[in-house]
Structure 1
């Protein structure tokens, strides 16, 4: 753990205008106390029994993000202002890793032929650069016809365009859009061994490569407390939690609704390092909308691993209600960056006979009010 000095304050020239960070006026020690106290108070309000300590994991007080979304508005590139629908034109950002800041500096030199759009910049594990241009169809056509911007951009980075994540390809006369392409944009860990995660620039990943080490380690540690566990996972995505769990579990059933994410997971498993290939046969992938309906028999599993969207687990928990206490999986691992929905789900899990045995905050978003929570619940 790289824990910053408690008195650390991060300077930002946009402190009074940009809405991206809300806690720049507080030292890092004050931020730790604020976030820990807020989580404890929230879970207490839901009637949850908490462990004596909430662990606080930190990879640093700033400069962590290897992925960030910006908005383009009337020639300005940045984030929304405080209490405003106007974009603050940002040249530097204390949230960005040095590699992403360098990429952002180059990207800002582009002069766009339209006024509005959303942009994701990303830096991969080996420093490779990516950009996702989420523009209106008419603006995408303008880019394809204009040609010079895309040509220049492709000299610097891998480019994806639109909601369908199409890749522009120059055929000698014009740009054509081909189907999405999987590349290595993130890393997870299996028993301390790094694993390349295949996905798209536009895919959901955790924001920080450096902080993700703590996530993989925590998942692996908790699963390892239950040797030979059979796991069911809700919201596997591209496999960031799946693979650390798979390293020590007897089996994992990974459930996910997004087909593109599952394509990435399948490619990752196919390309596992030779010393990890033995784990392939332990993974089963299942696609479906598990917030609404789950057909699996939870009594066949020893543990549940969940990293749901902001809306929480919803109908995924219904099968647990139908089981007797002894039939329910002995442990439940829950990860979320939205504590409110997590608290609501944990309240329901508590009514099923689970209690929180370990709780950790991972501070991936220093200077902001946001944070990631990891919880281990055990069946009484």
Structure 2
């Protein structure tokens, strides 16, 4: 992994109108320092002690995304304009991988019979194309009745429709919607072995296959510091962090609220390569709202792995507070794309006797103000 040249600038024809990339005018080297300094300032405002050196992990200054989320408005497909509620019609985007740009170019040829909606496009690990159409019910019905757009779309990609991720099926005379299907739309890593992750086009995943390798490798490296650790994970999702941890840990209890995500994780474990099958015996999957109530005894674990939503860990940390310092797990790995809530949780962890010993930014969103943070906390 090498950072691009510090003076790298990414050209974009929509720089003056699109709100998607806030840092396009800055050379990439300046973006790197800006993000590091913002994180330092945020942690300082919360009186958080952390390593002076913040690692910066990057797979490039652009062209990383294998998943996009755009809005449709009056025939325009793209993102909101600067200081505007109008969609900027975007033909090419420097955020997209070459494979996703090719898929998006084809997708843009469709003429939609309604005025607005949300669209997710994906390209899977082997180049598979997927689309999730999140439209109003009346527009979904119009699409099913019209037939031809769906027929054309399904000849190019796997299609999901609506919040329930239904799959349109042609029965010879009309379209019907059937239950969601799990397919391989993402990849994680167990040490040096790539592992297919089963999920839906609409599932939450990291945005970039290439950048995700950096995340998986960092999780693996930190868990390796504690061989045979008994771990509990909050927000396992489809298993993107679960499996890198499972490769080294003695056991992992994966906790998640979303049933569809856990269905994907269960299938992923079922379909593990033969030489990794035995690792599934170390995994326990548990469903519940762990921001509100956690039933597990944290003193039974050596490590915690957390990738919470934007709202942070909330009540998940309460059981830690009730334990004596010596009963608390020796280490805590925290990943977040919302540093503000992470800083609030880190304050509590610091008060429980934890110290940030390693801190990394994963630049999954170059050219934007957003970034992913990974932190290793160790008990004093």
With the shorter chain as reference, the TM-score category is over 0.9
Measure the CA separation in 1 of the matches of 2:244 and 2:50. Answer: 26
Measure the CA separation in 2 of the matches of 1:238 and 1:325. Answer: 32
Q: How does 1:279-290 map to 2 (within 5 A)?
A: 279-290=279-290
Q: Does residue 151 of structure 2 align to residue 133 of structure 1?
A: no
Measure the CA separation in 2 of the matches of 1:268 and 1:40. Answer: 37
Q: What is aligned with 2:56?
A: 56
After superposition, give the CA deviation of every residue in 1:39-97 in whole Å (9 maximum; x if it has no partner).
Answer: 01101110000112100000000000000100000000000000000000000000000
Q: Does residue 178 of structure 2 align to residue 174 of structure 1?
A: no
Q: What is aligned with 1:316?
A: 316
Structure 1 residue 191: Cα displacement? 1.5
Secondary structure of 1:365 counterpart: coil
Structure 1 residue 3: Cα displacement? 1.3
Q: What is aligned with 2:30?
A: 30
Measure the CA separation in 1 of the matches of 2:334 and 2:258. Answer: 20
Task: Name stretches of at least 5 consecutive residues in structure 1 with no aligned partner.
Answer: none
Measure the CA separation in 1 of the matches of 2:102 and 2:7. Answer: 27
Measure the CA separation in 1 of the matches of 2:193 and 2:323. Answer: 37
Measure the CA separation in 2 of the matches of 1:2 and 1:148. Answer: 46
After superposition, give the CA deviation of every residue in 1:333-369 in whole Å (9 maximum; x if it has no partner).
Answer: 0000000000000001000000000000000000000
After superposition, give the CA deviation of every residue in 1:142-177 in whole Å (9 maximum; x if it has no partner).
Answer: 000000000000000000000000000000000000
After superposition, give the CA deviation of every residue in 1:269-325 in whole Å (9 maximum; x if it has no partner).
Answer: 000011111101000000000000000000000000000000000000000000000
Q: Does residue 203 of structure 2 align to residue 203 of structure 1?
A: yes
Measure the CA separation in 2 of the matches of 1:340 and 1:22. Answer: 19
After superposition, give the CA deviation of every residue in 1:195-235 in whole Å (9 maximum; x if it has no partner).
Answer: 00000000000000000000000000000000100000000
Q: What is aligned with 2:3?
A: 3
Secondary structure of 1:220 counterpart: helix
Structure 1 residue 180: Cα displacement? 0.2
Measure the CA separation in 1 of the matches of 2:296 and 2:5. Answer: 47
- What TM-score does the superposition give when structure 1 sets the normalisation length? 1.00
Measure the CA separation in 2 of the matches of 1:192 and 1:316. Answer: 32
Q: What is aligned with 1:262?
A: 262
Secondary structure of 2:155 counterpart: helix
Task: Name stretches of at least 5 consecutive residues in structure 2 with no aligned partner.
Answer: none
The count of residues paired between Structure 1 and Structure 2 equals: 380
Q: Does residue 147 of structure 2 align to residue 147 of structure 1?
A: yes
Measure the CA separation in 1 of the matches of 2:48 and 2:35. Answer: 17
Secondary structure of 2:33 counterpart: helix
Measure the CA separation in 2 of the matches of 1:248 and 1:50. Answer: 26
Q: What is aligned with 2:94?
A: 94
Secondary structure of 2:36 counterpart: helix
Q: Does residue 225 of structure 2 align to residue 237 of structure 1?
A: no
Measure the CA separation in 1 of the matches of 2:278 and 2:344. Answer: 38
Q: What is aligned with 1:247?
A: 247
Q: How does 1:212-361 map to 2 (within 5 A)?
A: 212-361=212-361
Q: What is aligned with 1:187?
A: 187
After superposition, give the CA deviation of every residue in 1:251-282 in whole Å (9 maximum; x if it has no partner).
Answer: 00000000000000000000001111110100
Measure the CA separation in 1 of the matches of 2:370 and 2:169. Answer: 38
Measure the CA separation in 2 of the matches of 1:272 and 1:52. Answer: 40
Measure the CA separation in 2 of the matches of 1:59 and 1:13. Answer: 23
Measure the CA separation in 2 of the matches of 1:121 and 1:3. Answer: 27
Secondary structure of 1:159 counterpart: strand
Q: Does residue 19 of structure 2 align to residue 19 of structure 1?
A: yes
- What TM-score does the superposition give when structure 2 sets the normalisation length? 1.00
Measure the CA separation in 2 of the matches of 1:230 and 1:256. Answer: 18
